[in-house]
């Protein structure tokens, strides 16, 4: 018998949905590039339902309790008196989300001697102290590609919202106005602009593909250069560093993992090298951008706009400066948890659990750490001895 502690975000304020805006979601049979979707033995949910909140339970309860396991689901994740803190010491498996992360710090890992597996319902496991996980011999897994396209769509939406000044224009309508001059005094065409991505993995490349029809100039930087055939197809310009790329870009989008090399990459110095009036979009991780440097750049006009859905910590405090800074398009961390994405990452979590509980290997692309060694997507993104410890800082921030 295993004990599984699952940390999910709260249900809607008005209660768990009894109906939905649409009757179904599109059915996919593969991801771009050919990777297969999750292949669990079965699912106990209807695709298109709200699965990522507490009442949704990722559709896991019937499956796990039917096998005699214990499932604890909560949104109470922070502080010594939280449900997560109380249930963790005898947990075998922890499931959490990037959108509502249960920061699995080195201290929390040390307090859970039975813990063997940490699963991310989605993509991005930096809320786990990966170095501590390696030292303890844990396995860390996530549902690779489950919401990559969801995030890339969100990036394009945010870029257009900033450049076309959509949010202030919408607010004039809500307030009963028809103030065209106020709407267009900060509105530009994306056509002809130079757009660059920091990171050209699955999400970054998907963003580039979706932007190509807008007749923009596409640039990128990444520690792994793309194949020449892809560069030719998308007419990409490669830069060996972010510092060189941002100098020429009108729009910069961040699609890189968080690790020591990218933490606070966009600080005063790097933002100062960007074109005055450039736009910055970050749907990767909040700590890649220096919180106060971004606010200062918007106040001074060095940045014309900043948008994204990632913060540090998550959720952010009410006095976080990104809530009140000018010319922003921030949302809660929602880009990767659309109802369609939830169906995929819930199925992927079940696949991972089925493999783990049956003693079968978890598919390689889902692995970040495998019994203490970087593997799969983790080996591509991180380096042993230099992996993220940001979870510890999140705990200090709250204290």
pLDDT tens-place string over residues 113-143: 999 999 999 999 999 999 999 999 999 999 9
The Cα–Cα gap between 76 and 78 comes to 6
Query: Region 56-61: what's the mean pLDDT?
Result: 98
Q: Is 371 exposed, middle or buried (0-12, 13-18, 19+ CB in 10 A)?
A: exposed
Q: Which residue in the block uniquely carries the two structure tokens 């919408």? A: 170
The mean of the pLDDT values for the chain is: 95
pLDDT at 399: 47
3-class DSSP state of 108: helix
pLDDT at 38: 97
pTM of the model: 0.94
For the chain, the structural domain boundaries read 3-146+337-393, 148-330
Which architecture, in CATH terms, is 148-330?
3-Layer(aba) Sandwich (3.40)
Residue 107 pLDDT class (50, 70, 90 cuts): very high
The Cα–Cα gap between 110 and 323 comes to 35
pLDDT at 33: 80
| 298-342 per-position pLDDT tens digit | 999 999 999 999 999 999 999 999 999 999 999 999 999 999 999
From 69, 154, 239, 285, the catalytic residue:
285
Known catalytic residue at 285: yes
Count of other CB atoms within 10 angstroms of residue 330:
18
From 69, 108, 333, 363, the catalytic residue:
333
Kindly report the backbone phi and psi dihedral angles of residue 339, in degrees, each rounded to the nearest multiple of 5, phi listed first: -60, -35
From 314, 342, 344, 350, the catalytic residue:
314
The Cα–Cα gap between 264 and 293 comes to 9
The Cα–Cα gap between 312 and 129 comes to 15
| 158-213 per-position pLDDT tens digit | 999 999 999 999 999 999 999 999 999 999 999 999 999 999 999 999 999 999 99
From 97, 108, 131, 147, the catalytic residue:
147
The CATH class of the 3-146+337-393 domain is alpha beta
Residue 103 pLDDT class (50, 70, 90 cuts): very high
Q: Do domains 3-146+337-393 and 148-330 have the same CATH topology?
A: yes
Known catalytic residue at 373: no
Q: Is 210 exposed, middle or buried (0-12, 13-18, 19+ CB in 10 A)?
A: middle
Known catalytic residue at 333: yes
pLDDT at 95: 98
- Find all residues with CB under 8 Å of 50, minimum gap 6, and list them: 11, 12, 16, 17, 56, 339, 342
């Amino acid at each position: 018998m295993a004990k599984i502690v699952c940390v999910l975000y709260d249900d809607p304020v008005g209660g768990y949905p009894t109906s939905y805006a649409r009757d179904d979601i599109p059915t996919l049979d593969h991801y771009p590039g050919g990777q297969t979707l999750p292949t669990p033995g079965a699912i106990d949910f209807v695709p298109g339902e709200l699965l990522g909140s507490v009442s949704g339970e990722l559709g896991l309860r019937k499956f796990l309790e039917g096998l005699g396991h214990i499932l604890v689901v909560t949104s109470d994740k922070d502080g010594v008196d939280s449900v997560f803190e109380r249930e963790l010491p005898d947990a075998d498996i922890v499931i959490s989300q990037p959108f509502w992360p249960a920061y699995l710090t080195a201290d929390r890992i040390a307090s859970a001697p039975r813990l063997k597996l940490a699963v991310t319902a989605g993509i991005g496991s930096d809320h786990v102290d990966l170095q501590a996980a390696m030292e303890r011999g844990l396995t860390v897994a996530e549902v690779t590609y489950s919401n990559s396209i969801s995030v890339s769509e969100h990036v394009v939406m945010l870029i257009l919202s900033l450049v076309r000044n959509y949010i202030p224009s919408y607010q004039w309508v809500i307030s009963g106005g028809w103030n065209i001059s106020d709407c267009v005094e900060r509105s530009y065409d994306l056509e002809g602009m130079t757009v660059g991505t920091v990171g050209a993995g699955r999400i970054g490349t998907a963003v580039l593909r979706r932007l190509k029809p807008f007749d923009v100039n596409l640039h990128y930087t990444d520690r792994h250069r793309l194949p020449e055939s892809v560069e030719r197809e998308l007419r990409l310009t490669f830069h060996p560093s972010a510092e060189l790329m941002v100098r020429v870009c009108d729009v910069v989008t961040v699609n890189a993992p968080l690790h020591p090399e990218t933490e606070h990459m966009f600080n005063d110095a790097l933002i100062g090298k960007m074109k005055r009036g450039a736009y910055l979009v970050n749907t990767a991780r909040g700590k890649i951008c220096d919180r106060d440097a971004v606010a200062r750049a918007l106040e001074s006009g060095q940045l014309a706009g900043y948008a994204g859905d990632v913060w540090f910590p998550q959720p952010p405090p009410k006095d976080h400066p990104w809530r009140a800074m000018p010319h922003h398009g921030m949302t809660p961390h929602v880009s990767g948890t659309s109802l369609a994405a939830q169906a995929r990452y819930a199925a992927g979590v079940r696949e991972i659990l089925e493999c783990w509980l049956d003693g079968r290997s978890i598919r390689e692309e889902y692995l970040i750490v495998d019994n203490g060694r970087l593997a799969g997507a983790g080996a591509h993104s991180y380096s042993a001895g230099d992996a993220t410890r940001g979870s510890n800082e999140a705990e200090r921030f709250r204290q």
